């Protein structure tokens, strides 16, 4: 899952501090993008807009499996460190390997006619079989064990009764809590035969993740990651979502550390050896602005065009980055 700066229920005044916490006035920060997201017309699409299906009940996790702090209440603890001890890194590696396995198994099941709820069931069962807890389950009340984001859904799509259709794109976002650590990864999969434009979007989204990983170096600000990603997306005519970002991770699902995927000079935190975080750029065919469904979770592109995303959990090393979410 991605972390976003909290938006207020009502807009700030033009001269009030921006809701994102930048310290700037709202009119100099998010006013213009909020206006675009609210008023930008949807383009004519070859397919109908996505509609939610029926969401089933929360899945059961055996009592013997250790749970994160929010599993019962839905309220995660605040804070969390971003730099790990060697012992914590080894436990994080195990959680990340488990997440990578679950993602591979879930991705192999993607096909026309399969429901996103069936993918949730499959990934839930494999997570439990590995002795892990599916981190999204009841995180701030999220009702399922994975996120399934189809076509124009940017992130946090809720698995439901909708069947995948020929030509869809679907992102599976998997996080596993194992050995006291959260391992987080995602990938976008092609459903059957996908048009050339959709294939290009997915390819560039994967390349954007690779560009971001290559920018990781101790001593550089985290803004270097977005500085590597955004130009590559722009060269292909694609947008980079700004409302959702990567995040620090470890024994806490989301720490206060945020990793923007666009060039944001305000992201001044310096990367350090043994720091752990996710990079997970969300790349759009058109506008980067996002809207939100009434369920409070499902983030969609403001213009209704498709989005694709890839994600890894990373460890900062003396020479760059180690990808932890691999089997």
Structure confidence by residue, pLDDT tens digits, 229-255: 999 999 999 999 999 999 999 999 999
Instruction: Enter the DSSP assignment of 28.
Output: G
What confidence category does residue 8 fall into, taking pLDDT thresholds of 50, 70 and 90?
very low
What confidence category does residue 200 fall into, taking pLDDT thresholds of 50, 70 and 90?
very high
pLDDT of residue 78: 86
Residues 6+ apart with CB under 8 A from 133: 61, 65, 66, 67, 68, 71, 127, 176, 177, 178
| pLDDT exceeds cutoff 80 at 33 | no
| pLDDT exceeds cutoff 50 at 40 | no
Q: Region 253-263: what's the mean pLDDT? A: 97
Q: Of residues 115 and 32, which shows the higher confidence score?
A: 115
Residues 6+ apart with CB under 8 A from 196: none
| pLDDT exceeds cutoff 80 at 23 | no
Residue 235 phi, psi dihedral angles, 5° rounding: -60, -30
pLDDT of residue 5: 54
Q: Are the beta carbons of 14 and 25 closer than 8 angstroms?
A: yes
Pairing of strands 133-134, 169-178: antiparallel
What phi-psi label fits residue 237: left (phi over 0), alpha (psi between -120 and 50 degrees) or beta?
A: left
Using CA atoms, how far apart are residues 141 and 73, in angstroms rounded to an integer? 8
SS3 for 228-294 is: HHHHHHHHCCCEECCCCEEEECCCCCCCCCEECCCCCCCCCCECCCCEEEEECCEEECCCCCEEECC
What phi-psi label fits residue 241: left (phi over 0), alpha (psi between -120 and 50 degrees) or beta?
A: beta
Structure confidence by residue, pLDDT tens digits, 94-105: 999 999 999 999
What confidence category does residue 13 fall into, taking pLDDT thresholds of 50, 70 and 90?
low
Give how far the C-alpha of residue 14 lies from the chain's centroid of Cα atoms, to the nearest Å: 30
Q: Region 288-298: what's the mean pLDDT? A: 97
pLDDT of residue 3: 76
What confidence category does residue 22 fall into, taking pLDDT thresholds of 50, 70 and 90?
very low
Q: Region 183-198: what's the mean pLDDT? A: 98
Residue 244 phi, psi dihedral angles, 5° rounding: -130, 145
Q: Does domain 80-323 have CATH number 3.40.50.300?
A: no
Using CA atoms, how far apart are residues 326 and 45, in angstroms rounded to an integer? 36
Q: Of residues 44 and 252, which shows the higher confidence score?
A: 252
pLDDT of residue 43: 56
pLDDT of residue 47: 81
Using CA atoms, how far apart are residues 309 and 167, in angstroms rounded to an integer? 17
Q: Round the average pLDDT of the chain to a whole number and report it.
A: 91
Pairing of strands 320-323, 312-317: antiparallel
Q: What does the domain layout of the chain look like in residue ranges?
A: 80-323
Q: Region 260-278: what's the mean pLDDT? A: 97
pLDDT of residue 38: 46
What confidence category does residue 19 fall into, taking pLDDT thresholds of 50, 70 and 90?
very low
Note if the pTM is more than 0.85: yes
Q: Which residues pair with 291 in a beta bridge?
A: 300
Using CA atoms, how far apart are residues 259 and 73, in angstroms rounded to an integer? 27
Angle subtended by helix axes 196-214 and 223-235, to nearest 10? 150
pLDDT of residue 39: 44
Share of the chain above pLDDT 90, in %: 84
């Amino acid at each position: 899952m991605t972390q976003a700066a909290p938006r207020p229920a009502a807009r700030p005044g033009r001269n009030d501090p921006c809701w994102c916490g930048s310290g700037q006035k709202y009119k100099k920060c998010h006013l213009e993008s909020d206006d675009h997201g609210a008023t930008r017309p949807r383009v004519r699409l070859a397919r109908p807009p996505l509609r939610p299906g029926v969401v089933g009940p929360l899945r059961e996790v055996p009592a013997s499996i250790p749970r994160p702090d929010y599993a019962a209440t839905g309220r995660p603890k605040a804070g969390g460190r971003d730099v790990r001890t060697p012992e914590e890194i080894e436990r994080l590696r195990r959680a990340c390997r488990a997440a990578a396995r679950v993602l591979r198994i879930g991705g192999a099941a993607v096909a026309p006619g399969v429901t996103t709820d069936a993918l949730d069931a499959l990934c839930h069962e494999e997570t439990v079989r590995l002795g892990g807890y599916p981190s999204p389950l009841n995180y701030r009340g999220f009702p399922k064990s994975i996120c399934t984001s189809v076509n124009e859904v940017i992130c946090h799509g809720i698995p439901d009764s909708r069947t995948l259709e020929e030509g869809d794109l679907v992102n599976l976002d998997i996080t596993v809590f194992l050995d006291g650590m959260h391992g987080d990864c995602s990938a976008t999969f092609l459903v059957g035969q996908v048009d050339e434009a959709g294939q290009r979007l997915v390819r560039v989204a994967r390349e954007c993740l690779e560009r971001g990983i290559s920018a990781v170096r101790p001593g550089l600000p985290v803004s270097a990651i977005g500085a590597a990603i955004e130009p590559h997306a722009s060269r292909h005519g694609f947008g980079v979502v700004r409302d959702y970002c990567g995040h620090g991770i470890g024994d806490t699902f989301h720490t206060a550390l945020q990793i923007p995927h666009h060039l944001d000079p305000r992201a001044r935190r310096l990367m350090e050896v043994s720091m752990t975080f996710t990079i997970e750029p969300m790349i759009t065919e058109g506008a980067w602005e996002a809207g939100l469904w009434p369920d409070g979770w499902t983030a969609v592109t403001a213009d209704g065009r498709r989005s694709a995303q890839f994600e890894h959990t990373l460890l900062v090393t003396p020479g760059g980055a180690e990808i932890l979410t691999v089997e």
